[in-house]
Structure formats: structure tokens, C-alpha cells
Structure 1
Amino acid sequence: MTGFALHLLRHGAPVQPGLFMGRTDGVPTTEGIDACARQAAGVGVRRLIASDKQRCARAAKAIGEAQGLTPTLDARWRELDFGSWEGQAASAIEPEALGRFWADPDLHPPPGGERWGSLAARVSDAIDALAPMDTLVVTHGGAMRAALHHLCGFDPHQLWAFDLPYGALLSLRIWRGDRPGAQIIGLRI
């Protein structure tokens, strides 16, 4: 069984970086789009998917034009919905509430926001629906962590240790069958 490659590319920098942006459709910078296109330049894929948020969709469009692929937009690859924290910097959030969220994002989601389990479930559904062909997904840091949770079994505390800055490319090899699994084959920042 040879498996297939799944490359997860975090969108480039938005015009207003450093804010909680889940459902917020933040505008990407030209430099952020260009950084994503450079990261994807050496990645040979047959399918291109992106979150439907413009910071991902615009980068996917640029990548698709360079590689002769038409991106498919899929809302399951969106970031966690941060509820009332949307558009705020971490420093503007009450420290105890933010600490509870980082400690257990399922038990203590942002007020009015999405639970970690919901994000993990929709990303898992998106992964499980993939046909076995080399794929690049332009997505968000939270969705990338949810993919690692689903494919590699990392728990949320372990996932926060992964540094996934804007434009980070995470590559995995996926195996399906009697003993499905995944292996991290690269992280390029």
C-alpha cells in the first residue's frame, strides 16, 4: 500500500495579523499570497482544495493558476469559530477565560464560539471524504491541528506545541485500509 500525500498549507498573513479570526473573512496581504505560492511551488499534487475564507481561497487561486489546477472550496476546512473573541487580540481577552480555553477547548470554548470537537469532526469528515490522490489543502492553523489530531492521534495539549506560522506547509502520507494511518513527512516554515 503506497498511500497518498496530503499537504496542508496555512494561509499567508492577513492584513490584520495576530487576531482571532475564525468566521471573520480577513483579507490576505499580497505578500501572504505570494508566500503561499512559493511554498506550494515544489509540491506536486493532482488536487487543490481550500477553505472558503478569502485568506485561503485567494492563495489557492494563485497556486492553481501557477500549477494548472482549479481549487475546490470546502467550508469544512475553516478555522475554529471564536464567537465573541472574533477580531480581538489574545491580549484583549480575559486571561482566565483564555487559559481555560487553551487548557480544554472542548469544555471551555470561546463565548458563543465553536467547540474543539466540532472543528475536529468537520476536518475529519473532510479528510475521510478525500479520494486517495496527492492533495494540497490551503487552510488555517486550527484546521491543520485538527487534521493532526485525526490522523496522528495528538491531543489538544500536544497540538499547541506545533508552531504553524502563516505560510507553514505540513506534509503527511496517508494510508487507508485495514490499518489506516498517517505519517508526518515534512514541515516547512
Structure 2
Amino acid sequence: MSAFPIHLMRHGAPQLAGRLLGHLDAPPEAEGIALCVERARGLDFTQVVTSDLSRARAPGAIIAAERGVRHAVDGRWRELHFGRWEGADPASLPAADLARFWDDPDGFPPPGGESWTDLRARIRDGLGDLAEPALVICHAGAMRAALAVLCGFDVRQGWAVDLPYGAVLSLRVWPGEQPSEWAGAQMTGLIS
């Protein structure tokens, strides 16, 4: 199978922007939806896949309808689950605990939350279902996990990629010999 593009888009600004929303279903702001719709117009894709959270799902439905392509909702593309930190303002959390998490999200996951390895496994499985040019509207953590799976990025390299609301990370991927395997990937663009 030949290479094809995957565009990873972070949802637009949600209500409660700046908090650790994780699996909380904070609705999208109208401006955030409009930004996603505008940024999708120049991209090459034949399907839209979104997280099941409304901040990703809502713009995906509009984009798919506008383009006349299939829209699949897939909960594997959710953000990292922040456990007891869900919905918290990072400034309100113990600084040392938060620093340990950012430094080693596997060794120090959020209390009651998901590890980096578990997030990567979810995203690897979601990527395995993509077999044609796709726009995936999801979350910054999911995008960084995709970079880890497809390009071999470690945690620090993933944090080094700035992914503001509405950012689009484009990759060209080469499928492997077995379904859900990747022979390689190359970053081809970043719109932030």
C-alpha cells in the first residue's frame, strides 16, 4: 500500500480553556469550531475521525458534512484521562506533583488517571484503523501520542511541539505489511 496523509487537528477552544479537561466533555466555543472548519478547507482527506468528546466531535461533524465525507466518532482519540485532576486549573495543583507528571507521565501519572503508555496504546489502536487519507480531530495529548507511535518521539520531544487550539499536524504515513502496522511516517506540516 502506498503512503497517504493523516492530518491531526487539535479541537478549537472549549469552554473552561486552560484547565486539564481530559475526559470531561467541555463544549466547544463557536470561535473554536469556526477555526477548525476554516483550517480543514485546504487539507486532503477522504474521512473525518474525531474523539467522542463534543469539543472535537462538533467541528468534525460540520467539516464532514461540508466536504461530503464519512465522519467516524472514536473514543480512543480522547485526551489523557487526568483522574482526580480532571477539570483542575494547573495552577491550583501541587507544583511538585505536576512537575513530576510533566517530566515522567508514566512514572507519575495523575492520581487515579491514565499513564502515558496507556494513552499511546489507545492511539496506536486508533491509528491502526486508518487506511486512507484522514483528518483526525482530537486533543493535544492524543496528537503527541501519535507522534510517539508514528515517529518514535519520546515524551520530551512530544512536549516540544507547540499545539495550540486549532493546530494541524500533517504527516505522510507508510503502512506496514500487517494491518495496523506502520512502516514509517514523516511530518509534512504544522499549522499553529
TM-score w.r.t. the length of structure 2 is 0.95
How many residues are matched? 188
The corresponding residue for 1:168 is 167
Structure 2 counterpart of 1:8, one-letter code: L
The corresponding residue for 1:181 is 184
CA distance in 2, matches of 1:177, 1:88: 40
CA contact (8 A) 2:47 2:64 kept: no
Gaps of 5+ in 1: none
CA distance in 2, matches of 1:64, 1:171: 18
Instruction: Please show how residues 81-160 of structure 1 align to structure 2 within 5 Å.
Output: 81-131=81-131, 133-160=132-159
Once the two structures are overlaid, the 10-residue window that deviates more, 21-30 or 177-186, is 177-186
Gaps of 5+ in 2: none
The corresponding residue for 1:50 is 50
What's the % identity of the aligned pairs? Answer: 48
CA distance in 2, matches of 1:141, 1:166: 8
CA distance in 1, matches of 2:186, 2:8: 13
Q: Secondary structure at the match of 2:70?
A: coil
User: In the TM superposition, what is the alpha-carbon distance from 1:44 to its structure 2 partner?
Assistant: 2.1
Q: Secondary structure at the match of 1:38?
A: helix
Deviations 1:45-100 (A, max 9, x none): 11110000000000101111211123110000000000111111110110000010
CA contact (8 A) 1:106 1:115 kept: yes
RMSD: 1.1
